[in-house]
Amino acid sequence: MSPMTLPQQAATIALCVAATMLTRFLPFLIFPAGKPTPKFIRYLGKALPCAVFGMLIVYCLKNVSLVSGSHGIPEAIGIAVTAALHRWRGQMLLSIAGGTAVYMLLVQLVF
């Protein structure tokens, strides 16, 4: 594969900038400030974060073996820490970072 020419590089950068600007400005154009947000969009705003986390959990645990290796113990502890932090503080970033840090420490130092 040959490297991109200067016009190709410029076109690629311009397309990336245009796509980024479109994703930033389009919601404000579709849903102006004085107009109420449609019920379906509000529903998606409430339902999608849970769906994304559900898919993330399935993706992260799909290769965990309960009959070999560490038997899923570090994953279970990481999930428990994430849930406990979220129940305690209710801050998603803290919960995710804390659970990830505990899991990584367990995998690197214990298991």
pTM over 0.85: no
| Burial call 79-98: b when 16+ CB within 10 Å, e when fewer | bebbeebbeeeeeeeebeeb
* Per-residue DSSP letter, 18: H
Q: What is the mean pLDDT of residues 8-18?
A: 97
CA atoms in the 13 A half-sphere facing the CB of 56: 9
Could you tell me the residue ranges of all domains in the chain? 1-35, 46-110
Q: How does residue 67 score in pLDDT terms, banded at 50, 70 and 90?
A: confident
Per this entry, what is the length of the chain? 111
pLDDT over threshold 80, residue 64: yes
pLDDT over threshold 90, residue 70: no
Q: What angle separates helix 73-89 from helix 92-105, to the nearest 10 degrees?
A: 150
Q: Can you read off the two tokens belonging to residue 80?
A: 């428990």
Note the maximum CA span of the chain. 58
What is the average pLDDT score of the chain?
92
